[in-house]
Amino acid sequence: MTIRLKAGGMRMLGRFLQYVLPPVALVVAARADTFVTAYLAFALVGVLTSLSAHREGRLLILATTGYLLVALLNISTWRGRIEPPTVAMYAAALYALHLPFLLLPRRRRLAIAPLRPKAVVRIALVGHFALALGAVCVVYATRGIIVLHQELRFGLPPALLYLASSTLPIAVVAPFFFPDTKHAWMLASVAMLPALLLGVRGTPVVAAFGFVLGRLYVRPMMPTKTTLTKTKALVLLGLVGLSVIALGFHIRRTANPDLETPERLARLYFDDPDEWWVLPVMPLYLGVRETVGLTNAIISNRITNDVNESPLFFADLFTVLPGEQLDAGQSMGRVFGSTDGGGLTPGLLGGLYIDYGVAALGGFFIIGAMLAALARCASFYCRCVPLYILALTQAIHLFHRGFLKPEYFTSLAIAGFYVLLATRTAGAQRSAPPVPR
């Protein structure tokens, strides 16, 4: 009897922390007069939803919460100081994005059977890589060495850029093709190479993130000799991702005389420029801070989209049509002003808020519901797992960028093509029994 009472009490406490306390924290954030109060209320919302979320959605919650915990810090004046109303809007948007996962029924994870690509799949991969590297060669022959002069990547022909980046979804599928770590890493590295050679940093890091997630999914069912644990994998991914971002940041600002050097940026914007941690964290912090700073300006100054006839969230989808259309990043650059002809990215909240106002919260809920539905599908059919992982990583990238890109749809189509081709040629089963505990 005592055990039952304790179990019932724990369930009631869990439901209180899951369904009651986060809305209370949202009210506190909305009524906060100081940044510290709003920030602590936001952190409470993120932590509570992370602890109580469905396993398949916990990663999205942790990634977006961690992203904003860093970006919202007022340790610099880069893009201004973040105001409490902006923090409250982020807390509400975060909860709307995560709410569908909180309501998702729990289910045991399926066993993941390897796809074992046959000759036809390998031929398709080789042909795909050849086309992507060919696009890189054309760009290098006509524009120069992009990886050393990153300002040259602005204004690249979209067709060549899309073709070079089209191999990135293969990195997410790689763990499901090869159970051994060596071949999976090789395939993923080749898949990310064309985009890296064109100076693209964010999407290859997201692809690497998806690759590690895939390895963590398949590892319990694959007989490998690797000692890669979940903690080691995430730490390794973090170090590699930070290295790629930092290297591109310093190369671009060192090679371009029109941009401020990192040392100069520290003096201009950071509260404590002489601290040892400023230069190491600057590439990551400024990258995520810009999105939050732009969103803060949009909300605080009530900025609206008056430069593009299309809503900026959907503007990039119209760039594939004939004629010259202004993309979302360039439109945002015209609104705020940008250096070097580049575009600006306000993050998902800013990208929706500039056209839809408070109704942007509905967009967060819709995106969360779509991901939750795909997660539910992946819990029944193991062949949907690579697509869910890819969609999850694309959602994290969308959260940072703020504008819907055609590549999000083409990436899912490419990954689905290879999964379907490997399944058909290998005669793989549609699903597998639950993993025994």
Which letter does DSSP use for residue 81 in this model? Answer: P
Angle in degrees, CA 362, 364, 369, rounded to 5: 95
For the chain, percent of residues with pLDDT exceeding 90: 34
pLDDT of residue 431: 45
**Taking 90 as the threshold, does the pLDDT of residue 369 lie above it?**
yes
pLDDT of residue 215: 82
Rounded mean pLDDT, 3-22 = 65
Instruction: Give the C-alpha separation, 289 to 437, whole Å.
Output: 42
Determine, yes or no, domain membership for 14: yes
Between residues 56 and 161, which one has the greater pLDDT?
161
202 confidence band (pLDDT: 50, 70, 90)? confident
Helix (H, G, I), strand (E, B) or coil at 76: strand
Range of the structural domain that residue 79 is part of: 7-103
Rounded mean pLDDT, 401-417 = 92
- Residue 93: closest CA among 54, 58, 65, 56: 65
Determine, yes or no, domain membership for 237: no
437 confidence band (pLDDT: 50, 70, 90)? very low
The domain tally of the chain equals: 1
Which letter does DSSP use for residue 146 in this model? Answer: T
Helix (H, G, I), strand (E, B) or coil at 314: helix
* 76, β-bridge pairs: 270
Average pLDDT, the chain: 82
Q: Which two tokens stand for residue 389?
A: 């992982």
* 266, β-bridge pairs: none
Determine, yes or no, domain membership for 15: yes
Burial of 162 (0-12, 13-18, 19+ CB in 10 A): middle
Sequence-ordered list of residues with C-beta below 8 angstroms from that of 174, at least 6 positions apart, any chain:
184, 185, 187, 188, 191, 211, 214
pLDDT of residue 296: 96
- Residue 97: closest CA among 395, 376, 430, 364: 364
**Taking 60 as the threshold, does the pLDDT of residue 51 lie above it?**
yes
| pTM, to two decimals | 0.83
Determine, yes or no, domain membership for 393: no
Angle in degrees, CA 318, 321, 326, rounded to 5: 50
pLDDT of residue 224: 46
The torsion angles phi and psi of 110, rounded to 5 degrees, stand at -80, 155
pLDDT of residue 60: 85
Q: Which two tokens stand for residue 170?
A: 């293969």
pLDDT of residue 27: 93
Determine, yes or no, domain membership for 99: yes
pLDDT digits (tens, 9 = 90+) for 249-297: 766 677 667 777 778 888 888 888 888 888 888 888 888 898 999 999 9
Which letter does DSSP use for residue 270 in this model? Answer: B
pLDDT of residue 429: 42
Q: Which two tokens stand for residue 414?
A: 């490419």
Instruction: Give the C-alpha separation, 222 to 278, whole Å.
Output: 42
Determine, yes or no, domain membership for 84: yes
pLDDT digits (tens, 9 = 90+) for 146-170: 777 766 677 777 788 889 899 999 9
Rounded mean pLDDT, 17-44 = 90
Determine, yes or no, domain membership for 18: yes
Provide the strand spans (E) within 15-172. none
Amino acid found at 188: A
Sequence-ordered list of residues with C-beta below 8 angstroms from that of 211, at least 6 positions apart, any chain:
171, 172, 174, 175, 184, 188
pLDDT of residue 63: 87
Determine, yes or no, domain membership for 426: no
